[in-house]
Amino acid sequence: MEEGAPPSGAPRHRPPRARARLLRPRTRVDWFLTVLRVAVLIVLAVGFAAFIAQEINPDNPFARWANPDAAGLTGAQFRGLVISGIAQGSMYGLIALGYSMVYGVLGFINFAHGEVFMVGAMTGMITSNKLADAGLWESNFIGSLVFIVVVSIIVSSLTAVVMERVAYRPLRGAPRLIPLITSIGVSFFLQNASVVLLGPASKSYPNVPDWVKAKHTFLQIEGAKILVIVVAALSMAALWYYVDRTKTGKAMRAVAEDAEIASLMGIDVNRTIVKVFAVGGAMAGMAGILWGILFRSVIHTTGFLPGIKAFSAAVVGGIGHLGGAMAGGLSIGVAESVGPLLILEPLGVSGVSQLRDAVAFSMLIIVLLVKPSGLFGERLPAEDRA
């Protein structure tokens, strides 16, 4: 048997498609994309260079060239922006995991996932206010926090599972556009359900203890941000362990890659998909609580923008890739926090502090221009993703 096999180091055949990509003549679209890529990179480089010039000497001509009024950033301001970006980005990362996992197993974007996050935040708001009424919130903050996290994870997981059962499973065999559009409908349903049940006004979490609000000596970071970053990191580590090391996690990855063969192994594909929705919902619920602790205010549309940004994060990181979702979340969070002042202000753009969202989505476009499969995404051969 050994003689028949080629030596293990023998070159493998390049798939015909990849060869075609190299040999194909460049079209006008290719040139356009190349020009666009170069232009974007020049804008980024010039903005960044102007920022550096300005930091070195605010009065040098290059710094003054585009924006005579630029103020630059102090070290403390910069650090503050980065920390806020990481805190917000880690929440995007938590939400992005749900987009990425569902895309992995079912191949469509569940646009209602942002609303699962909103449900988690709302559940946390209701539970924490009840606890505050009972006086437990102040007397035992950590215990209350654990309690609202558990309740919120249960509620948002259930929301995601019911959503799968009612809205997506009946469409399992349908073209992917159909569950995608359905998910937009589910998203509207959940937003409006929240208005019906809780009213359209914005609602707030109870006051957090002083030690959470205060800036701590460690790097001058607010307690809430430390809490958010630590809890998000722990959740991601737990999820990574679950997906990478446990039997269920292996089953999830197997179903994501080839559901038919996974069922041949004896894996219950439907049950695995339900677990994927439950875990994604739990992560979104966790993010909802962190959002409430950090911003203290929730409304029925709370899920929309973070949801879309988390989706962007999942794409930036490479959809279907869990580490990518986390990295994408962090990079979008930091980019939208730092980007306006780092790149845009030195270029003379006015009103930069209102351009966070534009920066977040520009980040998506830039990554897609440069690496369409995302930061960690792999280009799959056509046979795997038809």
Partner 1 sequence: MSTGASGAAGSASQDGGSGAASTAERTPLLEMRRVNAHYGAVHALRDVDLSIYQGELVCLLGGNASGKSTTLKTLLGMLTPTSGEVVLDGEVVNDRPISYRVARGITMVPENRRLFKRLTVRENLQLGAYLRKDSDGIAADMEHVYELFPRVKERLGQRAGTLSGGEQQMVAIGRALMSQPRVLLMDEPSMGLAPALVQQNFELISQIHEAGMTVFMVEQNANMALGIADRGWVLQTGRVVLDDTAEALLANPALRTSYLGGGKGASDGSSGADGTAAG
Residues near partner 1, by CB under 8 A: 1, 4-6, 8, 10, 12, 247, 250-251, 253-254, 257-258, 260-268, 378, 384
Residue 22 CB, nearest distance to partner 1 (Å)?
21
Nearer to partner 1, 30 or 378 (CB): 378
Nearer to partner 1, 322 or 327 (CB): 322
In angstroms, rounded to a whole number, what is the distance separating the alpha carbons of residues 332 and 323?
Answer: 14
Nearer to partner 1, 253 or 309 (CB): 253
Please identify which residue in the block is written with the tokens 């203890």: 209
Nearer to partner 1, 111 or 376 (CB): 376
Residue 18 CB, nearest distance to partner 1 (Å)?
14
Query: Are 290 and 232 a contacting pair, CB within 8 Å?
Result: yes
Residue 164 CB, nearest distance to partner 1 (Å)?
20
Ramachandran region of residue 219, left (φ > 0), alpha (ψ -120 to 50) or beta? left
Query: Are 313 and 332 a contacting pair, CB within 8 Å?
Result: yes
Nearer to partner 1, 13 or 24 (CB): 13
Please identify which residue in the block is written with the tokens 């679950």: 242
Query: Are 362 and 138 a contacting pair, CB within 8 Å?
Result: no
In angstroms, rounded to a whole number, what is the distance separating the alpha carbons of residues 362 and 281?
Answer: 27
For every residue of 40-72, DSSP letters joined together read: HHHHHHHHHHHHHHHHH-TTSHHHHHH-TT---
Residue 384 CB, nearest distance to partner 1 (Å)?
7
Residue 322 CB, nearest distance to partner 1 (Å)?
12
Residue 138 CB, nearest distance to partner 1 (Å)?
48
CA–CA distance from 272 to each of 104, 105, 246 (Å)? 12, 9, 13
Nearer to partner 1, 68 or 266 (CB): 266
